[in-house]
A and B are shown apart, each in its own frame.
Chain A
Amino acid sequence: MLLIHQSPVAAFKDMAQFGIRTDSLIYTVNTAIPLFLSGLAVAIGFKMGLFNIGVEGQYTLAALLAAYVGARVALPAVLHVAFILLVAMIVGAVLAGAAGALKVTRGVHEVISTIMLNYIALGVTGYLLRTRLSQHNPPGDFVTKTKLLAASGVLPSLNRVLHSLGVHPPLGSDLYGFLPIAIAVGVAYYILVWRTGFGYDLRATGVNAAAAQVSGVNPGQMIMKTMLLSGAIAGLVGMPELLGVFHRYSIEFTTGLGFTGIAVALVGRNNPVGIAFAALLFGFLERSAQILDLEGIPKEIAVIMQGVIILSVVIAYEVVRRVVQAQEVRAAAEKSKGLGPTPREEDAA
């Protein structure tokens, strides 16, 4: 920022003041919800050393198909929403599962296959939206989109809850009704990974795949299960927007959530609470950066800040890990003094 002759302090002050207004906070939370889900989808793979870069394609195709199928069925309110979510999760899981199957049966690295599947999914989405699944627009309307969801398939906003809490958001600022579902997914993620046998196997594989295999974990099955779970969560990423804002899939959907999700998972250290904070931070940056434009500072600086945050956070973690490791080595060396030959550093490392 100094490079472009603006005071960083003043800019941060503006960002902070603008960022804590009620509508800004709602915007921040709304932006954070899909990022949180996307982060979780990536994180569950990270936990066992798998890299699902395909969240982008998974959620896009899932949103399209869920919107299409959802608009074609008539179901009572709660069931309808549940059905749409289920379709989205299945689509995401199938796409991610394909990458998992390629890895298990043919030894194709998942990073490569998910990148390829990303482009394939985005291409198929474009094709289906353009030709098969879009509604017939009235003349003069050039936005291709699927049919509108029935009222039973829509999640109401949480503004009524806010009102009862004594908070009155300004008009046009609606808190997504998806928030409780996202929180539930976060809790489920925590329980699954840290409180079940499956989660133990998952983390064990991530820390030391060979040791986990020796202790009886089937690596192929673990890869398949994890990719399916990751894809299912990824399928949900587009749902807050589908059920809360547009109520249909169109080319106006937000893109890039899958890639930002990778960053969110990294900054959040794969921990549900950490991911929630990281998602909120990214949402806050995006919102508060809008004020910078009014001050004559390009708001794109927020994207740079995101990139810098990721790199510095990741590097910081790595440095801390190494310092701690060095301390442990030293402590072990101290302890074993006089007991015999000092252990070689490599063994401790």
Chain B
Amino acid sequence: MKEIAARRLPTDRRGRLVRAAMLMVLVLLALSFVRLVTHASDLTSSGTFSATLRVSIPILLAALGGLYAERAGVVNIGLEGMMILGTWFGAWAGWHWGPWTGVLVGVMGGAAGGLLHAVATVTFGIDHIVSGVAINILAAGATRFLSVVAYTNVSGAGITQSPHVNGTIGELTLPVLAGGRFFGLKTPDFLGWLERQHWFFVSDLGALGKGLTAQVSLLTLLAVALIPLTYWLLWRTPFGLRLRSVGEHPMAAESLGVPVYTMKYIAVTISGALAGLGGVFLVLEEAGIYREGQVGGRGFIGLAALIFGNWRPGGVVVGAGLFGYSDALQLRSNTSIHGLLLFIAIAAAAVGLWFLIRSRVTTGVAAVVVASLVFWWFAGTKAVPDEFISITPYVVTLLVLAVAAQRLRPPAADGRPYRKGQAQ
């Protein structure tokens, strides 16, 4: 059994990687084409990709947090609240002792929220969603209260915001390719030069490279490093196997000597810690301060990315990147969003053809109809209302769920309270 798995998995994974890479190239080709047609240069500018990276990270961290909890069978709707705790504690400690202490304390704040969720759901066995909702309410109230206590007589701060964080996290730029410094020497910015040529596809590739390698904050690197780390920890170590077994079949896990409660506690606390890190990231990389309502539903979008990604790290990354991209474009220019409509029309038409070739007529026709509607929208208007852009991630999630809910596979015991020694 083990040998078969060992023999089959690598090729399987390589096939999946090749397919993912091909899809990426196709998407970039289509985007490049749309850029040429509509002159919406921000669709593939390095600025947009860099913004995408920055906007995606909090969503990604929340989603990774959700991954740990749900893989251990605990639904975590409280991610939003844990992120809020992360923003407040991160900003407070950052103001006192500098950004890196802020990171640490923010993570601890989020972890405390996770621990509370674990106490409520694992020890007391109350409904996971009830506890999560309560934590969201509690976190919003608690941070408001703490702000009143901590910031009432502080200049530049108040009950809805903190003072500026003391200092910033450093950032790195890749030498030679993106024009970073190398031992104090200035190096050429090859990718930036490539981007400025506005060649079809090649320049877009250059912009993507530059966006992902220039002025990347150390915190971003840390967050990105967490993706392979999570995969390795959950799928390649005994600890991960135990953690996932608890989410699939806690009774079986218990009978094999896995400490189910402990595993759940660890998973949910890690979950809160990651959400807290996402909150700190918002504070340190976007605003420099804590502001009330700063999280703004990113915990929920993270949850959406988790489901979109089928409870797997790779899928989670794609989901977070997709939601981040639509957000980043909105921040930069409305013409680009308008151009994106053409891209969606092309993508929907391609999907429709794919389904028609595979003789799944209903889905195919539906996709083609959607494609023509979107194209009609693109041709008939000049701009897209802001509100529609902000709801895009939610619409996409609903569509994905509506089309592919049957193929998604959450952990089998996800969301079910578990009592030690229960029969079924």
Residues of A within 8 A of B (CB): 3-4, 51, 53, 102, 106-108, 111-113, 115-117, 119-120, 123-124, 126-127, 130-131, 259-260, 262-263, 266, 298, 300-304, 306-308, 310-311, 314-315, 318-319, 322, 344-347, 349
Is B300 engaged at the interface, CB distance under 8 Å to the other chain? yes
Could you list 20 examples of A-B contacts with CB < 8 Å?
A106-B403, A111-B77, A112-B307, A112-B401, A115-B303, A127-B387, A130-B387, A131-B385, A263-B133, A298-B145, A303-B137, A303-B140, A304-B142, A307-B137, A307-B142, A314-B126, A314-B130, A314-B131, A315-B124, A318-B124
Is the contact region of chain B dominated by helix, strand, or loop, or is it mixed? Answer: helix
Q: Decide if A318 touches B126 in the complex (CB within 8 Å).
A: yes
A-B contact count (CB 8 A): 131
Alpha-carbon gap, A123 to B390, bound state (A): 7
Contact B131 A311 (CB under 8 A): yes
**Chain B residue at minimal CB-CB distance from A102:** B402
Beyond the given pairs A53-B129, A123-B388, 17 more chain A to chain B contacts, judged by CB atoms under 8 angstroms and listed by A's residue number, are A3-B149, A51-B129, A106-B406, A111-B77, A112-B401, A113-B398, A119-B297, A127-B388, A131-B385, A259-B133, A259-B136, A300-B141, A300-B144, A300-B145, A301-B145, A314-B130, A349-B423
Other-chain residue from A3, A120, A262, A319 in contact with B395 (beta carbon distance below 8 A): A120
Q: B361 near A: Cβ within 8 Å?
A: no
In the complex, chain B residues 138-179 whose Cβ is within 8 Å of any chain A Cβ: 138, 140-142, 144-145, 148-149, 159
Known contacts being A127-B387, A298-B149, A349-B423, is A306 close to B401, with CB within 8 Å?
no
Distance of A300 Cα from B406 Cα, bound (Å): 44
Do B304 and A112 have beta carbons less than 8 Å apart?
yes
Instruction: Tell me the complex Cα distance, A315–B406, Å.
Output: 34
Chain A min CB distance to B46 (Å): 29
B422 at the A interface (CB under 8 A)? yes
A residues near B421, Cβ cutoff 8 Å: 345-346
Partner of A303, one of B141, B149, B300, B394: B141
Interchain CB contact under 8 A, B405 and A107: yes
* A-facing residues in B283-321 (Cβ within 8 Å): 297, 300, 303-304, 307
Known: A314-B130, A318-B125. A124 touches B387 (CB 8 A): yes
Q: Measured between C-beta atoms, what is the minimum distance from A261 to chain B in Å?
A: 11
Instruction: Give Cα distance in the complex from A119 to B393, angstroms.
Output: 10
Beta-carbon nearest neighbor of B137 in chain A: A307
Asked if residues A306 and B423 are in contact (CB atoms below 8 Å), the reply is no
Q: How far is the CA of A51 from the CA of B394 in the complex (A)?
A: 18
Chain A residues in 8 Å Cβ range of B303: 112, 115
**B120 and A315 contact, CB distance less than 8 A:** yes
Residue numbers in B under 8 Å from A51 (CB-CB): 129
A330 to chain B, nearest CB (A): 16
Tell me whether B134 and A307 are in contact (CB under 8 A).
yes
Residue B391, interface by CB 8 Å = yes
Roughly how many angstroms separate A126 CA and B134 CA in the complex, as a whole number?
27
Our pick among B133, B394, B398 for the contact of A262 (Cβ within 8 Å) is B133
Chain A nearest CB from B273 CB (Å) reads 20
A128 CB to nearest B CB, Å: 9
Interface pair B391/A124, CB less than 8 Å apart? yes
> How long is the Cα–Cα vector from A116 to B402 in the complex, in angstroms?
12
CB-CB nearest in chain B for A113 = B398
Chain B residues within 8 Å of A315, by CB: 120, 124, 126
Taking CB atoms, residues of chain A closer than 8 Å to B403 are: 106
What is the distance, in angstroms, from B119's C-beta to the closest C-beta of chain A?
9
Interface string of B381-421 (1 = CB under 8 A from A): 00001011011001101100111011000000000000101
CB distance from B272 to the nearest CB of A (A): 15
